[in-house]
Structure 1
């Protein structure tokens, strides 16, 4: 095996250092997490004073909205931590007992599965919110079409998740042989 020349080593160092171009993107995701927090707090502070006048169905819709926002925030945290550790740099500090157990162990395949599972859950909650508020809408072809597409999109996410899980399963079996 030949030793790499100086130009090749320099180029490889540049390529390796280019991973730091991802760091501002992760910082942008931290800002997006803050935006989700603002929206979450806005929803809580808007609906909390109204809780005694709300019907139970309305409270459930508010709770589903808050769960939806929380799942999106969880998804962001997973992408932030695992993406940074997988593609930029390992965290160099000891978080002790506060360090999530999955941190540092989620590879790209695991990240992909967590991502699709979160998307399916968010889609299911959105679909449930539509079904719970369906009596408020005037029936007609436009509403039927909207509900049809909501269900089709949700099933597409579910199908995509199953296919990705199947591909990962097949890849893990073929890699072990």
Structure 2
């Protein structure tokens, strides 16, 4: 068993130390997102309680709408976790989870671009749930609402495809040059 490598000491100018240390100003933001995560857990439990409580009176479409609402909360919560863990790891400090059995696969190769693509895909998932809820409840909505929600959803898809395409070009710039 080899001993861990000794840490090297780095000499930084005072300005460099302040600039580099300023990344820790993001810590309260990530802690605030953890509080928001707690709020979503409470919301999920309340909505699940309403579903169970009202189950005898509900029709299948109503159950489906409520379950989609629960899925929506879970997807937003997943988005929060990606931002909290991935953002902290990318912009503040390493979490040093190497070898931990619960370390997310994506965390080992997370960077700002991958985080943007994952966030865009999560937003599409959340938008898809909202659009599906709209389609299920279509008889209670006007055409304008349906059209605008579809346009907004398509804009999210176009944005995510663009972000992924740009990320791919940036990752492999030589493969996209014309010969």
TM-score normalised per structure 2:
0.86
Relative to 1, partners in 2 of residues 1:78 and 1:175: Cα closer, same or farther, differing over 3 Å?
farther
Determine which of 35, 59, 62 is the counterpart of 1:58: 62
Q: Does 1:37 align with 2:41?
A: yes
Q: Distance in 1 between matches of 2:98 and 2:72?
A: 31
Q: Does 1:73 align with 2:77?
A: yes
Q: Does 1:111 align with 2:131?
A: no
State whether residues 61 and 136 of structure 2, in contact with CA within 8 Å, keep that contact through their aligned partners in structure 1: yes
Give how far 1:144 is off. Answer: 1.7
Q: Which runs of 5+ in 2 are unaligned?
A: 1-10
State whether residues 97 and 103 of structure 2, in contact with CA within 8 Å, keep that contact through their aligned partners in structure 1: no
The two structures, once aligned, show a CA RMSD in angstroms of 1.9
State whether residues 82 and 104 of structure 1, in contact with CA within 8 Å, keep that contact through their aligned partners in structure 2: no
**Which residue in the other structure is 2:50 paired with?**
46
Q: Which runs of 5+ in 1 are unaligned?
A: 1-5, 138-142
**Which residue in the other structure is 2:160 paired with?**
161
Q: Does 1:152 align with 2:151?
A: yes
Local SS of the residue matching 1:97? coil
Equivalences, count = 166
Q: How does 1:118-157 map to 2 (within 5 A)?
A: 118-137=122-141, 143-157=142-156
Q: Distance in 2 between matches of 1:115 and 1:54?
A: 34
TM-score normalised per structure 1:
0.87
Give how far 1:175 is off. Answer: 5.8
State whether residues 124 and 157 of structure 2, in contact with CA within 8 Å, keep that contact through their aligned partners in structure 1: yes
State whether residues 85 and 104 of structure 1, in contact with CA within 8 Å, keep that contact through their aligned partners in structure 2: no
**Which residue in the other structure is 1:85 paired with?**
89
